[in-house]
Amino acid sequence: MRTLRRALGAVVFLALVLFAISASHVRWYFRVNGEVLVNGRTTPGYLHANTKKTLLMLTRTDDPAPETYLVSLERETKAKVLDCGEFHPPRFLPFPVGHLNPPCSFFDGEPVKFQDPPVSTTLTMGRDYVEFSTASGKKIRGQW
Q: What mean pLDDT comes out for the span 112-135?
A: 89
Q: What mean pLDDT comes out for the span 92-111?
A: 67
The number of domains in the chain is 1
With respect to residue 18, please indicate whether it lies within any of the assigned structural domains. Answer: no
With respect to residue 19, please indicate whether it lies within any of the assigned structural domains. Answer: no
Contacts of 52-58 with CB under 8 Å at 24 or more apart are 55/27, 55/29, 56/32, 56/130, 56/142, 57/29, 57/84, 57/89, 57/104, 58/130, 58/140, 58/142
With respect to residue 9, please indicate whether it lies within any of the assigned structural domains. Answer: no
Q: Which of 14-23, 56-65, 88-97: highest mean pLDDT?
A: 56-65
With respect to residue 10, please indicate whether it lies within any of the assigned structural domains. Answer: no
State the pLDDT at residue 115.
Answer: 85
Instruction: Tell whether the model's pLDDT for residue 23 goes beyond 70.
Output: no
pLDDT tens digits for range 73-98: 887 667 689 888 888 888 888 888 77
With respect to residue 87, please indicate whether it lies within any of the assigned structural domains. Answer: yes
Q: Which domain holds residue 92?
A: 28-143
With respect to residue 23, please indicate whether it lies within any of the assigned structural domains. Answer: no
State the pLDDT at residue 120.
Answer: 87
With respect to residue 22, please indicate whether it lies within any of the assigned structural domains. Answer: no
Nearest to 52 by CA among 76, 68, 69, 21: 76
